[in-house]
């Protein structure tokens, strides 16, 4: 594996904080100043970010932003991602934040560089800077006869280091050449020829293969271990034991797998009361302290004065990210310095975890995150710890790669959640009271808070969220609690509309003045032809709205239902994420969000009992396949003058509710929990 290196022959570098937003960023500070962008003596541009490419096309987005802002050909821009030795610490690749915090800062860096090049040219040509223009990596007099001067030529003999000032003038939308237009991925050829290297594909000289002995259930303690048979397997280098941590290192992967099976282990298992069947009750019992996100007006008097009141409970089970690439890491120790090749979205977080676990200094650990074969929130760091421990023990580089069942059982799942909603409406269909209580599995209450608040107009409102001890290891997932909170709220909205005899679209519009969400909803409904829909037994229509990661979306769907065969036929999406850097990339993300959300709506649930996952195989965990693909239309409703917000996650938040509402429309059957199909 070749290791990327910092570019040599740097002629111009731009230093700044890696993140920037016009307002204070609630998702974290700007980070420490670092080199964000360089131009070498030959005019090559390199940008650095701790973000990771896991399918969202961020390398492409960054390259487009820089090439447009700096006026260079896109193929002269090299983006280095996810290597802790080379890139700034700009936080992990989460919250659909790459474009809106790092992308904009890279644009600002490129704008500063372009300004400096124009200044150099002004001096060289003895003209006013204002009379100069840039194009294709060259500076020229805007409407004159003079020859263009290349950036490389201008930089010859110079070494410039620039800082990003508070105020930077970036290009106006009408001056964009690349941004806002659909673009092919710059990495496309390597993707279709199999040459992209994922963590699973990393090979370093002298590398051995590790496999870990897994307990039969969560929390089980190792009582006895007989390694004699495994020790005798030809090709086994070492059986490593450190307390309950047991692994085999072998010359080949198949030998390591065989030797793990040859270990004789006896475990003491603990009792587990929770299963997927009693999960809602378990979460309610184990709920921690409620956090009140909003408490306004007077609920009691609002309910007293309401014409009608509604009350219901909802439930969403654990679902698996089930990304296509199972977790894998290669660890190599050079003396007391560790290098990890892995597939983590947060290389610095992974480094810090290794530093803590191994008792070493940050300078001793380099984490190189490869292009990732899907994540959506997971990619366990544990695999790197395991590889590091085995590599240390045998004194050689070791690769550990999870098989699919390990991935299901030992990586994280989307938090299951329960919801209780009480609402009151006036005679004219105005919501006057909204009392929302959610309990999300997991130690991290923040996950469940995302999307819990209501975007509708209501004066008397209380939003309470608690975290509950989780029987399974809850972790990140596309939009986290955003999608599950939206399911509960948007299904409840339909219940109210049905109860008071209003069209679900009309009822939403009557209670929605949000300046960005409302246009997304009207655009989706119009493109869908909501008014002319014709529900009938077996054919249903649903609508839901959502907000996430600074963006706003509404979705209308058509489904057909015949017994347990539910087909999502058509989805129309209104979507406002401000400036769309790459419309094709954003559309791809939204389509993917919808397909993924269809799985959670219709089929997906992690089944578990006795501390074991029961359906941890892709043959037993039903994810959407190509035959399930609906027609998907996306209408972008954002203002390009508004800074970009997230596009990777928001598409998933309303879809499960829209489908549930459509299935209800087609069948008359109330859908209060997910997944839908087993209930039909």
Partner 1 sequence: MHLRVNGESHEVAVDAERMLLGVLRHELGLTGTKYGCGEGTCGACTVLIDGNPTQTCYTPVSAAVGREVTTIEGLADGDELHPVQEAFVEHTAFQCAYCTSGFIMSSAALLDRVSGPDDDQIRSALSGHICRCGAYVRILQAVRSAAGKTGGEGGAR
Q: How far is CA 122 from CA 44, 45, 116, 132, 478, in A?
A: 21, 21, 10, 7, 49
Strand partners, 311: 422
Task: Decide if residue 635 touches partner 1 (CB under 8 A).
Answer: no
Strand partners, 81: 49
Task: Decide if residue 653 touches partner 1 (CB under 8 A).
Answer: no
Question: Which of positions 299-328 make contact with partner 1 (CB under 8 A)?
Answer: 321-326
Which CB sits closer to partner 1, 138 or 375?
Answer: 375
CA–CA distance, 439 with 634 (Å, rounded to integer): 32
Task: Decide if residue 172 touches partner 1 (CB under 8 A).
Answer: no
Task: Decide if residue 189 touches partner 1 (CB under 8 A).
Answer: yes
Question: Which of positions 661-680 make contact with partner 1 (CB under 8 A)?
Answer: none
HEC secondary structure over 350-411: HHHHHHHHHCCCHHHEEEEECECCCCECECCCHHHHHHHHHHHHHCCCEEEECCHHHHHHHC
Instruction: Provide, rounded to whole angstroms, the least separation between the CB of residue 325 and partner 1.
Output: 5
Stretch in the footprint of partner 1 (CB under 8 A) among 43-51, 151-159, 304-312, 611-619? 611-619
Task: Decide if residue 203 touches partner 1 (CB under 8 A).
Answer: yes
Q: Which two tokens stand for residue 551?
A: 């963006």
Q: Which two tokens stand for residue 32?
A: 């420490």
**Torsion angle in degrees (nearest 10) through CA of 141, 142, 146, 149:** 60
Question: Which of positions 478-537 make contact with partner 1 (CB under 8 A)?
Answer: none
CA–CA distance, 568 with 594 (Å, rounded to integer): 10
Task: Decide if residue 194 touches partner 1 (CB under 8 A).
Answer: yes
Nearest CA among 258, 620, 316 for reference residue 491: 316
CA–CA distance, 32 with 45 (Å, rounded to integer): 22
Q: Binding residues for partner 1, how many (CB under 8 A)? A: 64
Instruction: Provide, rounded to whole angstroms, the least separation between the CB of residue 628 and partner 1.
Output: 8
The residue within the footprint of partner 1, chosen from 59, 89, 185, 389 (CB under 8 A), is 185
Which CB sits closer to partner 1, 49 or 323?
Answer: 323
The residue within the footprint of partner 1, chosen from 386, 548, 591, 649 (CB under 8 A), is 591
CA–CA distance, 538 with 673 (Å, rounded to integer): 20
Which CB sits closer to partner 1, 131 or 567?
Answer: 567
Strand partners, 588: none
Q: Which residue matches tokens 């700044």? A: 16
The residue within the footprint of partner 1, chosen from 589, 645, 661, 667 (CB under 8 A), is 589
Strand partners, 222: 267
Task: Decide if residue 617 touches partner 1 (CB under 8 A).
Answer: yes
Task: Decide if residue 17 touches partner 1 (CB under 8 A).
Answer: no
Instruction: Provide, rounded to whole angstroms, the least separation between the CB of residue 652 and partner 1.
Output: 10
Task: Decide if residue 232 touches partner 1 (CB under 8 A).
Answer: no
Which CB sits closer to partner 1, 49 or 364?
Answer: 49
Stretch in the footprint of partner 1 (CB under 8 A) among 110-118, 134-142, 271-279, 627-635? 627-635
Nearest CA among 468, 327, 324 for reference residue 402: 327
Task: Decide if residue 619 touches partner 1 (CB under 8 A).
Answer: yes
Which CB sits closer to partner 1, 55 or 424?
Answer: 55
The residue within the footprint of partner 1, chosen from 584, 607, 609, 672 (CB under 8 A), is 584
Q: How far is CA 491 from CA 330, 484, 506, in A?
A: 45, 11, 15
User: 361 burial class (0-12, 13-18, 19+ CB within 10 angstroms)?
Assistant: exposed
Nearest CA among 323, 416, 381 for reference residue 607: 416
Task: Decide if residue 615 touches partner 1 (CB under 8 A).
Answer: no
Which CB sits closer to partner 1, 583 or 610?
Answer: 583
Instruction: Provide, rounded to whole angstroms, the least separation between the CB of residue 622 and partner 1.
Output: 10
Instruction: Provide, rounded to whole angstroms, the least separation between the CB of residue 614 and partner 1.
Output: 16
Which CB sits closer to partner 1, 405 or 607?
Answer: 405
Stretch in the footprint of partner 1 (CB under 8 A) among 88-96, 186-194, 240-248, 386-394? 186-194
Instruction: Provide, rounded to whole angstroms, the least separation between the CB of residue 420 and partner 1.
Output: 32
Q: Which two tokens stand for residue 661?
A: 């509402």
Task: Decide if residue 618 touches partner 1 (CB under 8 A).
Answer: yes
Which CB sits closer to partner 1, 57 or 424?
Answer: 57
Q: How many residues does the chain have?
A: 680
Task: Decide if residue 646 touches partner 1 (CB under 8 A).
Answer: no
The residue within the footprint of partner 1, chosen from 445, 629, 640, 670 (CB under 8 A), is 629
CA–CA distance, 466 with 458 (Å, rounded to integer): 22
Task: Decide if residue 261 touches partner 1 (CB under 8 A).
Answer: no
Task: Decide if residue 191 touches partner 1 (CB under 8 A).
Answer: yes
Beta strands 328-334 and 319-320, pairing class: unpaired
Task: Decide if residue 247 touches partner 1 (CB under 8 A).
Answer: no
Task: Decide if residue 588 touches partner 1 (CB under 8 A).
Answer: yes
Task: Decide if residue 329 touches partner 1 (CB under 8 A).
Answer: no
Which CB sits closer to partner 1, 448 or 599?
Answer: 599
Instruction: Provide, rounded to whole angstroms, the least separation between the CB of residue 625 and partner 1.
Output: 6
Which CB sits closer to partner 1, 321 or 551?
Answer: 321
Nearest CA among 222, 296, 305 for reference residue 266: 222
Which CB sits closer to partner 1, 221 or 252?
Answer: 252
Instruction: Provide, rounded to whole angstroms, the least separation between the CB of residue 2 and partner 1.
Output: 15
The residue within the footprint of partner 1, chosen from 28, 235, 374, 583 (CB under 8 A), is 374
Task: Output helix, strand, coil percentages for the chain, rounded to the nearest 5.
Answer: 30, 30, 40
The residue within the footprint of partner 1, chosen from 287, 316, 372, 438 (CB under 8 A), is 372
Q: How far is CA 245 from CA 221, 449, 457, 534, in A?
A: 10, 35, 54, 60
Which CB sits closer to partner 1, 249 or 458?
Answer: 249
What spatial distance separates the first Cα and last Cα of the chain, rounded to whole Å?
51
Which CB sits closer to partner 1, 125 or 483?
Answer: 483
Which CB sits closer to partner 1, 90 or 325?
Answer: 325
Task: Decide if residue 401 touches partner 1 (CB under 8 A).
Answer: yes
Stretch in the footprint of partner 1 (CB under 8 A) among 251-259, 289-297, 508-516, 663-671? 251-259
Q: Which two tokens stand for residue 383?
A: 């695999």
CA–CA distance, 355 with 363 (Å, rounded to integer): 9
CA–CA distance, 565 with 560 (Å, rounded to integer): 8
Instruction: Provide, rounded to whole angstroms, the least separation between the CB of residue 121 and partner 1.
Output: 37
Helix (H) or strand (E) holding 555: strand 551-562
Q: Can you say whether the dihedral through the CA atoms of 231, 235, 237, 243 is positive or negative? A: negative
Q: Which residue matches tokens 């997971």? A: 378
Task: Decide if residue 201 touches partner 1 (CB under 8 A).
Answer: yes
Which CB sits closer to partner 1, 17 or 196?
Answer: 196
Give Cβ neighbours of residue 374 (< 8 Å, ≥ 6 apart).
54, 55, 321, 323, 324, 325
Binding site for partner 1 (CB under 8 A): 54-57, 184-185, 188-189, 191-198, 200-201, 203, 252-254, 321-326, 371-376, 401, 403-405, 567, 569, 584-585, 588-589, 591-596, 617-619, 623-633
């Amino acid at each position: 594996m070749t290791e990327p290196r910092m570019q040599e022959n740097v002629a111009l570098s731009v230093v700044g904080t890696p993140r920037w937003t016009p307002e204070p960023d609630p998702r974290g500070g700007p980070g420490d100043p670092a080199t964000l962008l360089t131009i070498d003596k030959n005019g090559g541009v390199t940008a650095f970010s701790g973000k990771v490419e896991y399918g969202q096309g961020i390398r492409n987005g960054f390259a487009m932003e820089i090439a447009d802002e700096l006026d260079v050909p896109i193929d002269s821009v090299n983006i280095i991602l996810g290597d802790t030795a080379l890139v700034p610490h700009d936080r992990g690749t989460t919250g659909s934040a790459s474009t809106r915090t790092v992308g904009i800062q890279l644009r600002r860096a490129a704008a500063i560089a372009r300004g400096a090049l124009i200044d150099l040219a002004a001096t060289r040509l003895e003209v006013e800077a204002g009379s100069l223009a840039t194009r294709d990596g060259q500076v020229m007099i805007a409407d004159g006869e003079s020859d263009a001067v290349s950036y490389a030529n201008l930089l010859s003999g110079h070494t410039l280091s620039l800082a990003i000032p508070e105020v930077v003038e970036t290009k106006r939308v009408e001056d964009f050449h690349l941004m806002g237009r659909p673009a092919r991925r710059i990495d496309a050829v390597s993707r279709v020829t199999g040459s992209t290297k994922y963590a699973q594909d990393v090979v370093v000289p002298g590398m051995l293969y590790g496999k870990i002995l897994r307990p039969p259930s969560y929390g089980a303690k190792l009582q006895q271990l007989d390694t004699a048979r495994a020790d005798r397997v030809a090709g086994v280098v070492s059986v490593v034991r450190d307390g309950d941590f047991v692994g085999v290192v072998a010359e080949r992967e198949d030998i390591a797998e065989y030797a793990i099976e040859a270990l004789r282990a006896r475990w003491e298992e603990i009792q587990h009361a929770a299963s997927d069947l009693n999960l809602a009750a378990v979460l309610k019992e184990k709920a921690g302290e409620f956090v009140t996100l909003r408490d306004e007006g007077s609920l009691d008097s609002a309910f007293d004065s309401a014409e009608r009141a509604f009350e219901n409970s909802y439930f969403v089970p654990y679902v698996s990210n089930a990304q296509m690439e199972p977790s894998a890491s290669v660890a190599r120790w050079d003396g007391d310095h560790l290098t990890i090749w892995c597939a983590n979205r947060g290389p610095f977080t992974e480094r810090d975890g290794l530093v803590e676990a191994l008792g070493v200094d940050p300078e001793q650990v380099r984490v190189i995150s490869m292009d990732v074969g899907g994540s959506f929130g997971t990619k366990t760091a544990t695999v790197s710890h395991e590889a590091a421990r085995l590599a240390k023990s045998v004194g050689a580089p070791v690769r550990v790669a999870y098989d699919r069942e390990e991935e299901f059982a030992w990586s994280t799942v989307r938090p299951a959640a329960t919801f209780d909603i009480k609402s009151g409406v006036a005679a004219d269909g105005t919501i006057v009271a909204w009392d929302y209580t959610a309990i999300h599995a997991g130690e991290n209450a923040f996950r469940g808070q995302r999307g819990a608040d209501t975007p509708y107009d209501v004066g008397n409102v209380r939003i309470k969220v608690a975290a509950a001890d989780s029987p399974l290891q809850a972790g990140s997932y596309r939009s986290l609690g955003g999608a599950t909170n939206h399911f509960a709220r948007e299904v409840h909205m339909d219940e109210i509309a049905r109860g008071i005899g209003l069209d679900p679209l009309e009822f939403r519009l009557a209670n929605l003045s949000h300046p960005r969400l409302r246009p997304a909803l009207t655009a989706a409904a119009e493109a869908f032809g909501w008014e002319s829909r014709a529900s009938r037994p077996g054919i249903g229509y649903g609508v839901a709205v959502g907000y996430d990661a600074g963006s706003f979306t509404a979705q209308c769907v058509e489904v057909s239902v015949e017994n347990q065969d539910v087909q999502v036929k058509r989805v129309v999406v209104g979507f406002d994420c401000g400036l769309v850097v790459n419309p094709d990339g954003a559309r791809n993300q939204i389509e993917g969000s919808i397909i993924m959300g269809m799985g959670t709506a219709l089929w997906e649930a992690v089944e578990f009992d006795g501390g074991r996952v029961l359906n941890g195989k892709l043959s037993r965990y039903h994810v959407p396949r190509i035959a399930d693909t609906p027609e998907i239309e996306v209408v972008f409703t954002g203002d390009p003058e508004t800074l970009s917000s997230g596009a990777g996650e928001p598409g998933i938040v309303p879809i499960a509710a829209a489908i549930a509402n459509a299935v209800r429309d087609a069948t008359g059957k109330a859908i209060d929990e997910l997944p839908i199909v087993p209930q039909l």
